[in-house]
Amino acid sequence: MFASFPAESTFTHVASEVDPVQLLGRSPDERLGEEDLGQLPASVGRPPAAPPESAARRRVVRAGATMTGVTLLGGLGLALLAVVEAIAGAGAIWWGVLALGVVLVATHWGWVHVAELTGNRIESRRAAALRDRRREWLRGIEPYPRWEVATSAGEDGTITIRTTVHRPVPAGEATYTFVCEEAAREVYSGEEPAAEVAGRAELLRRRAAAATREARERYEAARDAYERVLLARDDEAQRRAALRAASEALSERINANLREPPLVE
């Protein structure tokens, strides 16, 4: 068996690096729902997927194509009939029919553009609704570290247990994002007893869950204190008072954990 470093240290150093107070009052970066989606843990799920093309847009496009064909054929038919009648010496009204036919032929592609513009307007409303749903999904992701443990099998028969941490970090002035890092790796040969490998993976999963739960509790303590002090009006003095209250609540939470006996597996 080979381990990159002892997994027991995996669940302590990251939590001390992340200060929940730095992330209060920030919103999630919208790139987390798109190109940075891989930085999020699987436990938070995935954003709403884009629905297929709407039936309304398909109907509009088909109607535009139909009107294009009808206008072209109708215009050609009217123009041809008007020419025949004019040659036969019919009345001047057929010159007007000829002009109408020419106009229809010249403008028949306009229906395609009308259909395209109407379809794009329908899709833009759907896209705006999808963006709103994704923003709502992002707002449900709170900025605290999350640990995850997964196993994979190698072609040589080895089994790898990887522990990854998804760590929130500030992004810009008012947003936060996540970075995904491999915190530990343990590689077992195919000769290791399966029960021992499974037991080790389960132990690491329990520790990952406990570390994630502790990080969530630390963040919630800071967030609750922040929200109790911060008033609806966004005043800088009020914001500093709220951050100070959040820091004090977080300090109390950490001290309470230090007074508790350590977790024994």
167 or 114, which is more confident: 167
pLDDT value at residue 10: 58
pLDDT value at residue 4: 45
| Averaged pLDDT score across all residues of the chain | 77
The predicted model gives 82-92 an average pLDDT of 68
- Sequence spans of domains, the chain: 2-37+143-259, 55-136
Q: What is the pLDDT of residues 103-115, one digit of tens each?
A: 777 776 776 777 7
Determine the number of helices (DSSP H) and then strands (DSSP E) in the chain: 6, 5
Range from 45-49, 69-73, 181-185, 234-238 carrying the lowest mean pLDDT: 234-238
Residue with tokens 């064909």: 69
74 pLDDT more than 70? yes
The predicted model gives 78-92 an average pLDDT of 70
Distance (Å) of CA 46 to CA 51, 181, 216: 14, 19, 20
142 or 116, which is more confident: 142
Q: What single DSSP character describes residue 90?
A: -
pLDDT value at residue 223: 85
The predicted model gives 4-29 an average pLDDT of 65
pLDDT value at residue 162: 93
For the record, the structure tokens of 110 come out as 């306009």
113 φ/ψ sector (left φ>0, alpha ψ -120 to 50, else beta): alpha
For a pLDDT cut of 90, what percent of the chain falls above it? 12
